[in-house]
Structure 1
Amino acid sequence: MERLSTNQQQVLQQLQALLGPHEHDVEVLISVLQSLDWNVQTATELLLDGPPVEVRSSQRSIRQTQQPMIPLEYPVQERGHGAPRSLTQTFLALLSLPVSVLSGILRFVLGILRVPFLFNNNHTYRALRQTFPDTRGATRRWITALEEETGAVSIKSTGALTTGLDNPPSTSRRHAYPPTSPSDGSKVLPDFFDGTYEEVLDICQREGRIACVILVSDEHDDVPEFKRSTLTDATLVRMLSEKNFVVWGGDVRDKVSWEAAQKLQATTYPFVAFLALQPRRNPSTSSSNSSPILTVLSRHHGPSVPDSGPTSAQTLVHHLEHQLLPRVNPFLTRYKSQLQERERDRHLREQQDKAFEDSARRDRERVEARIREEQEEAGRLRMEEEARRQEEKRTQAERERQESAQAMRLQWRRWMRRSIVPPEPRGGNAIRLAIKLPGSGRVVRAFPSVSTLTALYAFADAQTIPLTMQLEGDPERVPEGPEGGLETLENYIQSQTQGPESWWGFKLALAYPRREIKWIANTTLVEAGLKNGEQLVMEATNSSYSSTSHPSDDDYESESD
């Protein structure tokens, strides 16, 4: 006991109380509880597993209508008068449990496949059925058999509507009883709850209702008359319906009903017991024990005839009207009020929690929306910044390309000034031309008559070289491509994809009448139709072509005629 926790000790003590006065080894009980994860309900069913033993009860007076109130804490089970099991039987039951489960699963699968089950014997089937009893099915079968035997119909099958009830039932199956004397003479049974006995006790605790437990045994001679007279009595059924009783019943030959009989100490049948929550008689100082306890209000057992019999409808109705209800209703009314107040408080707390959660959710959504907007704005700014950087990179790359191309073009100009432009002849057969440069510059130059358009264009192109770059610094080699002279230059210009005019960046034309002098490779000035003394205009065709360095007339000497 010292190695067990407080909760485990309480479970062990509860199991010892449930097993009755018979002595059991504490170590065995601990082993059983440990194997069942300290589930006292499963342990009790396992230790009490087996058919009920016929109870030998002492003869009691048939005039005895009730016994003193006996406290019954939920859930409480009594061992009854059944013979105690030995420890060997207990361990055999534990060992046979997984075998029974596997046998049942194998039987189910083979049944679907329609394969004969080699171990199909009644002992295995009974063991499996006792291990997993169909409690709801057994209760429903008993209710159906009761309807067939009495010729009555359960009140839930009449279709009558609930009217004028101060405490309507919590289940949707419940209906009001029809008039006391139906015009068609039909009989109606109480609205039996088809759940388990533990569920009945749970409803009593949760809803503050009174339970009416009816136990019978078809082996007793007084049971058939009890079914025909008491259970179909109009006054009793109407009272149970109007007062919102939870009615539950069964035959003790079924395991669940037999276990209920042991818990209620039923020895004579038919048996009727009324249970409800009641305050503790000797409440302790501990606040945990001040809560109400489920109590057996009264027990009734014996024959139902004559009308004064302990289980007759008249006796039960008189007992309910004049004794039980006046005694328990005040407390149950207060208890239900407390339940309703707690329910209202719970509902109010739920509403407050919901309002708080809604407010928190709205605040969270606003914060998330603000964060999302800030993230979107930051993303937009990043994209704009990235686009700006990319544009700057492209502009810088284009600028560098243009600067590189202009630098290369400048090298070509300087090379052409050094290698392509012929010296100016002094007298003789020469062609003297005046070239109006872009801007305000003008230059006069004499060319040999055998000079080509390439030499003229090279001279005009050389006029854009800055004055700081003297002839002595011009390159002697071709900036790119193979070595050569005029023919090499013309081949290079013709190989350019953008065309000769785009490569030169300008064009020459006669001033008046205006006539364009297009560059053509290997063409002399005479072949181009140029004569001595003509005026040419240099027109830029490329935006990158710079004319800032064009000299004025004062920078060059002009020969007189």
Structure 2
Amino acid sequence: MAILYACINIIREVLQIVYYFLLPRPAVSDGQNRQRDSQLATQFIQKFAEKYGNVHPEFFRGTLSEALERAKNELRFVMVVLQTDEHDDTDIFNRDTLTSQSLITFLREKNILTWAGDVKDPEPYQASITLQATTYPFIAIIVAQIPHGNTGSGPKMIAVDRFEGFSSPENMIARLTMSINRYGPELQRIRSERAGHEAARQIRAQQDDAYLASLRADQEKERRARELAEAKRLAEEHARKEEEARRLLALNRENWRRWAITQLPDEPHPNEIEVAKLSFKLANGERVVRKFRATDTVETAYIFVDTYYLKNEASSSTVTEPPSNYEHTFDFLLVSPYPRIVHHVDKFKEIKSEQGLWPSANLIVEELTSDDDDDDDE
């Protein structure tokens, strides 16, 4: 009977292989394969719970490749359970072993990731071929290891133990303990190296962050220094231009006055008639009396006052032409005090036509300020 049972199992497995490889299957993409395998893994867990209850290891919900990748990243042992309902040991293994509280507690305490599947499904079937499973249920213990001679490479997931057929909870715990004792130190070494690398990476990252922060601070300081230097340069340039403008204005005013004094009509002869006698109280308190012809303009009186300080200078200091691109403005007003009458500059209006100037007047020279200019404009 034993021989007959073995033959039946062999024939059944051969038929499964023929079914898997020879029957046509629709072509699917890798993404569709992953989605299909994930759904089948979830269906396996649901069917297991419906048949054997909710007391079982915390099966990984996802594909086997995803489970192995997570275990590799988290440096955990993986217990891969492959089974099929067509083997008699499957039912008792699920009822007595996979639902054992002692095994469930052990797997949880040792942080062992558990993945299970039915070899009738594509991914578990492919795993059975890769792991060379011959009898079910089949259990493989897989853990991240660095292959001998490849110390420079990263860890790879390697099957370190495998056992087939029915196993009691005690036997599985013992086998798992042996694997943990044998390969756990290497796993811990990889953890330590990874922690060291991570710590070094964090230190480098912190150093890089500190360097970048220092660099940004230096760049900001340099930027502010450049801005301050540029602002200072612009302010100095502005001040220089303003000073040049003031000097040019003062020079033009002076040259205009030296030219204007040459245009000032001579004082009327004592025998001339229609002469206005104007008395000016200058800003410095000095009083000056000057006669003007009735036909002289009000501007002529302004020119007299504006150029009075030049009357005693040599003729060689005079200017024969007015400065170009310059319009002269007088920085004072001629005012009759009682009643107060402001005699504004007028280059066309004759003195005899200006009320308060003809035939004589006492005038006060009032210096203008910027406010006076504004008020005067109003």
Residue 317 of structure 1, aligned match among 166, 170, 182? 170
Find out whether 1:266 has 2:133 as its counterpart.
yes
Q: Is the 8 A contact 1:212 1:246 kept in 2?
A: yes
> In 1, Cα distance between the equivalents of 2:103 and 2:51?
19
Distance 1:407 1:298, change over 3 A: same
**Deviation, structure 1 residue 261:** 1.3
Letter in 1 for 2:162: S
Q: Is the 8 A contact 1:208 1:332 kept in 2?
A: no
> Structure 1-normalised TM-score?
0.47
> In 1, Cα distance between the equivalents of 2:179 and 2:124?
26
> In 2, Cα distance between the equivalents of 1:293 and 1:263?
13
**Deviation, structure 1 residue 135:** 1.8
1:16-75 superposed Cα distances (whole Å, 9 cap, x missing partner): xxxxxxxxxxxxxxxxxxxxxxxxxxxxxxxxxxxxxxxxx992899xxxxxxxxxxxxx
> In 1, Cα distance between the equivalents of 2:180 and 2:336?
124
* Matching residue of 1:213: 80
* Matching residue of 2:270: 424
Letter in 2 for 1:216: Q
1:205-248 superposed Cα distances (whole Å, 9 cap, x missing partner): 45554332222223445534443343323343333333433221
Letter in 2 for 1:136: S
Report the count of equivalent residues: 337
Find out whether 1:59 has 2:6 as its counterpart.
yes
**Deviation, structure 1 residue 542:** 5.7
Map 1:16-415 to 2 at 5 A. 59=6, 126-128=26-28, 132-133=32-33, 134-150=36-52, 152-153=53-54, 188-276=55-143, 283=148, 287=151, 294-301=158-165, 311-312=166-167, 314=168, 317-318=170-171, 320-321=173-174, 324-325=175-176, 327-403=178-254, 405-407=256-258, 409-413=260-264
> In 2, Cα distance between the equivalents of 1:128 and 1:263?
21
> In 2, Cα distance between the equivalents of 1:504 and 1:329?
107
Unpaired segments ≥5 residues, structure 2: 10-15, 323-328, 344-348, 370-378
1:331-389 superposed Cα distances (whole Å, 9 cap, x missing partner): 33312331342244234314432442354245324423431342232133123213303
> In 2, Cα distance between the equivalents of 1:246 and 1:436?
113
> In 1, Cα distance between the equivalents of 2:92 and 2:358?
143
Q: Is the 8 A contact 2:82 2:137 kept in 1?
A: yes
Q: Percent identity between the aligned chains?
A: 20
**Deviation, structure 1 residue 140:** 0.7
Structure richer in strand, relative to its length: 2
What secondary structure does 2:140 align onto? strand
Q: Is the 8 A contact 2:37 2:63 kept in 1?
A: yes
* Matching residue of 1:452: 294
Q: Is the 8 A contact 1:507 1:538 kept in 2?
A: yes
> In 1, Cα distance between the equivalents of 2:108 and 2:319?
123
**Deviation, structure 1 residue 142:** 0.9
Unpaired segments ≥5 residues, structure 1: 1-56, 63-79, 90-122, 154-187, 302-310, 480-497, 531-535, 545-561
> In 1, Cα distance between the equivalents of 2:44 and 2:331?
111
**Deviation, structure 1 residue 287:** 4.9
Q: If you compute each CA radius of gyration, which structure gives the higher value, 1 or 2?
A: 1
Q: Is the 8 A contact 1:435 1:444 kept in 2?
A: yes
**Deviation, structure 1 residue 251:** 1.4
Letter in 2 for 1:59: A
What secondary structure does 2:127 align onto? helix
Q: Is the 8 A contact 2:68 2:157 kept in 1?
A: no
> In 2, Cα distance between the equivalents of 1:408 and 1:458?
13
Distance 1:59 1:253, change over 3 A: same
Q: Is the 8 A contact 1:422 1:455 kept in 2?
A: no
Q: Is the 8 A contact 2:275 2:294 kept in 1?
A: no
> In 2, Cα distance between the equivalents of 1:409 and 1:243?
110
What secondary structure does 2:98 align onto? coil
Q: Is the 8 A contact 1:207 1:336 kept in 2?
A: no
* Matching residue of 2:372: none
Distance 1:402 1:317, change over 3 A: same
Distance 1:296 1:355, change over 3 A: closer
Letter in 2 for 1:132: Q
Letter in 2 for 1:452: A
> Structure 2-normalised TM-score?
0.66
> In 2, Cα distance between the equivalents of 1:246 and 1:405?
102
What secondary structure does 1:128 align onto? coil
Letter in 1 for 2:158: L
Distance 1:354 1:528, change over 3 A: closer
What secondary structure does 2:182 align onto? helix
Distance 1:240 1:82, change over 3 A: farther
Q: Is the 8 A contact 1:276 1:297 kept in 2?
A: no
What secondary structure does 2:42 align onto? helix
Kindly report the root-mean-square deviation, in angstroms, between the aligned alpha carbons of the 2 structures: 5.2
> In 1, Cα distance between the equivalents of 2:332 and 2:78?
114
> In 2, Cα distance between the equivalents of 1:196 and 1:209?
16
> In 2, Cα distance between the equivalents of 1:245 and 1:279?
19
